[in-house]
Amino acid sequence: MVSAGDFKNGITIELEGNIYQIIEFQHVKPGKGAAFVRTKLKNIKSGGVVEKTFRPTEKFENAHIDRKDMQYLYQDGDLYYFMDNETYEQIAINADVIGDALKFVKENETCKIASHNGSVFGVEPPISVDLLVTECEPGVKGDTATGATKPCTVETGATLNVPLFINQGDMIRIDTRTGEYSSRA
């Protein structure tokens, strides 16, 4: 149990049947009346952010989030299959849960699977991945003054903008948090 007076950024709590992570909190002591805690909470499962106020004495159940490294095996229709590298147990996760998380992830890459009470709610890809450029238009000479970019397609089928000097067949490093080109691999 954690009381609202002990809130810190990053703590996860159970509230109204949902799991929230505290993004921001502020202890407010007005001139008149009782003190309160103003918070910004992010719903872990849906990603929505809400603002709520609590009395400092209110207590909440701590929500324990399990993050486990698992290997992405393959996709079959709307199901994505992952394997635990220690027990070799395989699980299937629905495409609704995954969303765009695996846009830049190849088969056999290791991802973090986030779950609460055995229920998987998210997949966290590696921070950066090296992918092969499969399709890329040639850069136009003279467009380099503004740091111009051009669209390209990588081996997972995702498209992103890269600098003009990148060509088809190059290996590039992509930051999966932003979905942007970071360097040559």
Write b or e for each residue in 36-52: b if 16 or more Cβ atoms lie within 10 A of its Cβ, otherwise e.
Answer: bbebbbbebeeeeeeee
Q: What's the pLDDT score for residue 11?
A: 85
In one-letter notation, the amino acid at residue 120 is: V
Between 27 and 97, name the one with better pLDDT. Answer: 27
* pLDDT 10s digits, 89-139: 999 988 888 878 888 888 899 999 888 888 888 888 898 999 999 998 887
Instruction: Return the CATH superfamily for domain 129-184.
Output: Nucleic acid-binding proteins (2.40.50.140)
In the chain, which residues fall in CATH 2.40.50.140? 66-124, 129-184
Q: Among 2.40.50.140, 3.40.50.300, 3.40.50.720, 1.10.260.40, what is the CATH number of 66-124?
A: 2.40.50.140
pTM score, two decimals?
A: 0.70
- 7: tokens are 């809130």
Mean of per-residue pLDDT scores for the chain = 86
Q: What is the pLDDT of residue 173?
A: 92
